[in-house]
Amino acid sequence: MATTPRMPDTSTLAEPEPADTSEPSDSLVFFGASGDLAFKQIIPALYSMTKRGTLGVPVIGVAYSGWDLDRFKARVKESIDAHGGVDDQAAYDALVASLRYVDGKYEDAATFDALRAALDGAGRPAHYLAIPPGEFATVVEGLGRSGCADAARVIVEKPFGRDLESSRELNDVLHSVFPERAIFRIDHFLGKEEVQNLLYFRFANSFLEPIWNRNYVASVQVTMAEDFGVQGRGAFYDEVGALRDVVQNHLMQVISLLAMEPPVGAGTEAMRDEKEKVFRAMRPLRPEDYVRGQFEGYRDEKGVAADSDVETYAAVKLWIDSWRWGGVPFYIRAGKMLPCTCTEVRVELKAPPQRVFADMEPKLGETNYFRFRINPRVEIALGARSKLAGEVFRGHQTELFLCDAHPEEMAPYERLLHDAMHDERLLFARQDGVEAAWTVVQPVLDDHAPAIPYAPGSWGPEVADALLADHGGWHAPEVDR
């Protein structure tokens, strides 16, 4: 018997909206300006936005690094050089001219007084918290006390808590200063062109609807493989693990796009309503639905505990108790030090009801399927069988290739920053969905088996195959197609 998760508290969603909520932000503040995320993602995104002509407002970096504006500008140049270099001098000059900088401790009221002065009359700032979650409360409260939160938006970087309780605590902190309408929870995975292709493909093609249900779909697999380790982030990763890092957020968001119902009516909230319903229909995980692994050598990484049991590989079996998906298993696996770097969705369709030809013995990879490649490039394909030439009725598996890469696509952070500043909410997580997703994984956050060692370059612990005992095993993505 399936258990039903407690409904998340959605009372905050009905709060009054600030008067200027639909107007574009007239400045962008990002806390953590000297950090890794700023260097690798935010600054390149700001440069791209400037080249496209979609920024055009003051950009204020805030950090406690002993920097001044000149040092901040130098850091911006270093970041751009590391990500392809300056290829549009006018755009680069415009970005540099828009920069301002505030240096100070986040717990110091003087830092926020300096920020208010740097805003110089801007009335609708967007504040991006590119900082550790432990500092969110300090910054949010400082923004509120100083008046910098008035008519402002706040952009919050995942993770949204470590579990259900802490996600609610974080939500309380945010709502102590900002109404729900002004909060944008970034999951950069939703900003990927490839992920948005899932949503578009589902609802822009009428041929899918008759078969996109339990009557025709046998199972769904989502694989997120990385052929590298923690890359110097051992201390962070040892506090998080694969389930919290990518399954509870990135990959469950992908599942929601695959499984959601068509929205009733137009508008962003109608779309988001259907997406969040999927999380509420998911059964909470049981320990037997969850396999944990840890690659050999992980404990030797800097910052990792010598006796760490943190998983670098997670595989789960999900059930969605809805009319459309009742009885269809959804499988997710994610891991580091696997054979390739690739994220792929595979929707396996059921075999034909009768064996008309002798070679129609159904097995994994030799039925109809839809395949969505999310990285390293965009691919949408349909698996089908066709007859080989000759007198004998003998076939082979083929793929009908539908889509390839988009070289001019926006990077996720560019898209998400632009959307947050323009009140476009579709690609952001909503609190009721965040809580419902945590409700699904909450039972196994502490009640689980030990992590099983696996060899780097393998597909993780072999015991994970048992999750798919009735569906032929995991499909291994082919990265050299």
* Positions marked catalytic: 250
Q: Are 111 and 105 in contact (CB under 8 A)?
A: yes
R_g (Cα) of the chain, nearest Å = 24
pLDDT at position 477 is 87
Q: Evaluate if pTM is beyond 0.75.
A: yes
Q: How far apart are CA 338 and CA 320, in angstroms?
A: 28
Q: How far apart are CA 16 and CA 24, in angstroms?
A: 18
Return the residue matching tokens 């323009």.
Answer: 422
Bond into 5 cis (ω within 30): no
pLDDT at position 284 is 97
pLDDT mean values, one per 10 residues, the chain (481 residues): 42 39 89 93 95 95 96 97 95 97 96 96 94 89 95 89 91 94 86 78 90 96 95 87 92 93 83 91 96 97 95 97 97 96 93 69 70 84 76 71 64 89 87 92 94 97 90 79 49
Q: Which residues pair with 316 in a beta bridge?
A: 290, 332
Nearest Cα to 55, choosing from 19, 89, 97, 20? Answer: 97
pLDDT at position 280 is 94
Nearest Cα to 143, choosing from 161, 158, 156, 159? Answer: 156
Q: Are 51 and 91 in contact (CB under 8 A)?
A: yes
Nearest Cα to 314, choosing from 231, 225, 383? Answer: 225
SS3 403: strand
Q: Enumerate residues 6+ apart whose C-beta is below 8 A from 355.
A: 361
Please spell the DSSP secondary structure of 16-81, one letter per residue.
Answer: PPPTTTTSPPSEEEEE-TTSHHIIIIIHHHHHHHHHHT---S-EEEEESSS--HHHHHHHHHHHHH
Q: Enumerate residues 6+ apart whose C-beta is below 8 A from 241.
A: 310, 311, 312, 314
